Amino acid sequence: PENPSWLYMILIAVTLAVAAIPEGIPLCVTISLSSGCSTMVSQNVLVRRIAAVETLGSASVICSDKTGTLTEGKMRAVKMWTAGTNYEISGTGFDPMSGSILRTEG
């Protein structure tokens, strides 16, 4: 290209490194996974294993829970989304009769 970007230059450098030294493939993979780890750490994500970054790269949805699981040791749903509809869930504990499920906009 007439005005190559830095990403294009990195792609060419990696291609040449792998073509010249096939043993360089694991090094390139390790460097890219480490880069992903450092990006995630800068966004306050705890990365325990570098291989997890590769697995998360193909994830389209991540479900997480912070509704008392860590502080009280109890899991409780507070929101639900299904078939394009949002629901707010109220109540305490595990008694299904103590709360309600309300449809919300959005």
Same structural domain, 20 and 37: yes
The yes-or-no verdict on residue 90 having pLDDT over 80 is no
Same structural domain, 10 and 52: yes
Same structural domain, 31 and 69: no
Same structural domain, 52 and 67: no
Crossing angle of helices 24-42 and 6-20, in 10° steps, is 150
Range of the domain at 85: 63-106
Q: What is the pLDDT of residues 17-58, one digit of tens each?
A: 778 887 777 887 888 888 878 888 888 877 788 777 777 777
Has 95 been annotated as catalytic?
A: no
Residue of 38, 65, 81, 90 marked catalytic: 65
**CA–CA gap between residue 95 and residue 103 (Å, rounded):** 20
Number of domains in the chain: 2
Same structural domain, 31 and 48: yes
Flag whether 35 is in a domain. Answer: yes
